[in-house]
A = this chain, B = another copy of it.
């Protein structure tokens, strides 16, 4: 059996009781370590599981599916995914391959940023499509998600922006020379995301948002030191959200009064927030 097990968002104890039982029944345990990360080292997981973990990078998951699945028709193999198993397409590929090999697949769900973002007080019902914001490079400054944000905001919906992480990336030079030397991991901050968003708006000038648009920056959701700050995009550029992972929520053209209540709890500046809530949303204090 292949167990695809969500680990939740923060530390080793966010695994479910069911997930932990399954892990303990497995002979090999892979940890997917490139679409997201936990906030603890793998040693903490190994201690709880009383088992060794094999870290699976993108290369392994995408090109060595069959190695991961080897023998899983007879033994149990675990594939651990931060958040919920169905956050990334890659895992679909592994499940499809398992089925082709007649290997049973059982999925054990967990929280992911897609639902845990509700912690910021915005109703999940009021979110439109989520988008991914990737790191700009000198020559590649992608803005393909812009129409989604625009459609969401026009329809009154909030937009969850998932922020890029770069793990085990090679520099162009090292890649060209075939040297398996990797750059230090990078995790996009709320600040960088906001800067990139404002640059895109400046270029496209289509008015999906501007520097006065309300947003919430969130960091380390689900951990005891999670941080949430609401404000305009301009205000959020300068807020220090601390360690990764960060996400950003762009608020839509409609806000429920209960959502506004939460925004006020963690505003950069309540006064300017109230001004915008009154001016743009007709919401009184």
Chain A residues close to B by CB (< 8 Å): 6, 8-9, 11-18, 20-21, 48, 84-87, 89, 92, 96, 99, 106-107, 109-112, 114-116, 118-119, 121, 123-132, 151, 155, 157, 221-222, 224, 258, 261-262, 265
Nearest neighbor of A130 in chain B, beta-carbon distance: B125
The answer, among B89, B99, B107, B262, for a CB contact under 8 Å with A123, is B89
A87 touches B118 (CB 8 A): yes
B89 touches A258 (CB 8 A): yes
* CB proximity of A65 to chain B, nearest CB, Å: 15
Whole-angstrom CA separation of A198 from B219 in the bound complex: 43
A116 touches B84 (CB 8 A): yes
Residues of B contacting A106 in the complex (Cβ-Cβ under 8 angstroms): 224
Residues of B contacting A118 in the complex (Cβ-Cβ under 8 angstroms): 84-87
With A16-B15, A48-B17, A89-B123 as given contacts, are A129 and B157 in contact (CB-CB < 8 Å)? yes
A96 touches B261 (CB 8 A): yes
Residues of B contacting A48 in the complex (Cβ-Cβ under 8 angstroms): 17
B15 touches A17 (CB 8 A): yes
The answer, among B85, B124, B157, for a CB contact under 8 Å with A86, is B124
A16 touches B110 (CB 8 A): yes
Residues of B contacting A11 in the complex (Cβ-Cβ under 8 angstroms): 18
* CB proximity of A221 to chain B, nearest CB, Å: 8
The answer, among B115, B123, B128, for a CB contact under 8 Å with A111, is B115
The answer, among B114, B119, B155, for a CB contact under 8 Å with A107, is B119
Nearest neighbor of A131 in chain B, beta-carbon distance: B125
Residues of B contacting A128 in the complex (Cβ-Cβ under 8 angstroms): 128-129, 157
* CB proximity of A61 to chain B, nearest CB, Å: 15
With A21-B13, A48-B17 as given contacts, are A84 and B109 in contact (CB-CB < 8 Å)? no
The answer, among B17, B85, B123, B131, for a CB contact under 8 Å with A17, is B17
Closest 5 CB pairs of A and B: A86-B118, A109-B111, A13-B18, A13-B17, A115-B115
Residues of B contacting A86 in the complex (Cβ-Cβ under 8 angstroms): 115-116, 118-119, 124
Residues of B contacting A129 in the complex (Cβ-Cβ under 8 angstroms): 125-128, 155, 157
Whole-angstrom CA separation of A221 from B108 in the bound complex: 10
A130 touches B124 (CB 8 A): yes
Whole-angstrom CA separation of A17 from B129 in the bound complex: 31
B17 touches A92 (CB 8 A): no
B13 touches A8 (CB 8 A): no
With A111-B115, A114-B114 as given contacts, are A92 and B258 in contact (CB-CB < 8 Å)? yes
